[in-house]
Amino acid sequence: MLHTVNKSSFERNSLQSCVNIIDDSSVILLIEDGVISATNNTQSSIVSDLASQGRVYALQGDLEARGISSKVADNIKVVDYAGFVDLVVEHGTPVSWV
């Protein structure tokens, strides 16, 4: 299953809640302010395990809009909107964590 997270983990606990509850086949797409959790920062550890398994994506346009494209943590896959659509097609209707 696909989970989209649109809040920074400095703002809300939605990413942590999402990580706590998802099953082994789920993937996470970070969008909007959620992409802040894709960077190397004090909250990176929330998704680092999942990222090492190739299960964390971040939306390119939202990284660029925030000037953090060059700070994306290891193993996080950067996708554009077309990639977002592909994830929805592949994994089914997403759960939107807001």
Q: Which is nearer to other proteins, 20 or 89 (CB)?
A: 89
Residues in binding contact with other proteins, number by CB under 8 A:
19
98 binds other proteins (CB under 8 A): yes
Mark 3-13 as b/e (b = at least 16 C-beta within 10 Å): bbbbbbbeebe
- The interface region with other proteins, picked from 20-28, 31-39, 49-57, 69-77 by CB under 8 A, is 31-39
HSE, side-chain direction, 13 A CA sphere, residue 11: 11
* By the rule CB under 8 A, 5 interacts with other proteins: no
| Cβ contact 47:76 at 8 Å | yes
Residues of this chain that interact with other proteins (CB under 8 A) are 6, 31-33, 61-62, 80-82, 84-86, 88-89, 92-94, 96, 98
